[in-house]
């Protein structure tokens, strides 16, 4: 009786995905993928800061302006804080597009 071997020489066992250990693989229902850490944006600081500062804003004269310098990123507030200047909500750098998400 002849044994049935597949291409790898294993007897009826499926291939094991090369040299990637199974502990670093994630099954998402479609195919096995290597687990990666996703980058996230934490906006809680800017929302909390806006809630503190809006108490002192009486009219447009009290609203702070955005400065075009990386040192002022700490003062960045959410777009709802800049109602009088809607151009602050427009992004100029394309980051990522997601399609076919279920």
Quick one: pLDDT at residue 16?
53
Residue bearing the bigger pLDDT, 86 or 12: 86
> Of the segments 1-10, 19-28, 62-71, which one has the largest average pLDDT value?
62-71
Instruction: Please state the rounded mean pLDDT for residues 71-100.
Output: 79
| Between 96 and 17, residue with greater pLDDT | 96
The CA–CA distances, whole Å, from 47 to 1, 37, 41, 54, 95 equal 73, 25, 13, 11, 22
Every domain of the chain and the residues it spans:
44-89
At 19 the pLDDT is 57
Residue 13 has pLDDT above 60, yes or no: no
Summarised one tens digit per residue, pLDDT across range 14-65 is 555 555 555 566 655 666 667 777 777 788 888 998 899 888 888 878 877 7
Task: Sort 81 into a burial class: Cβ within 10 Å, 0-12 / 13-18 / 19+.
Answer: buried
């Amino acid at each position: 009786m002849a044994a049935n071997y597949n291409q790898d020489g294993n007897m009826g066992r499926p291939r094991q995905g090369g040299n990637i250990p199974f502990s670093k693989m994630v099954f998402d229902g479609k195919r096995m993928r290597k687990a990666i850490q996703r980058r996230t944006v934490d906006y809680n600081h800017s929302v909390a800061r806006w809630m503190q500062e809006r108490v002192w804003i009486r009219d447009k004269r009290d609203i702070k302006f955005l400065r075009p310098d990386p040192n002022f990123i700490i003062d960045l507030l959410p777009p709802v804080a800049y109602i009088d200047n809607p151009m602050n909500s427009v992004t100029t750098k394309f980051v990522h597009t997601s399609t076919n998400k279920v």
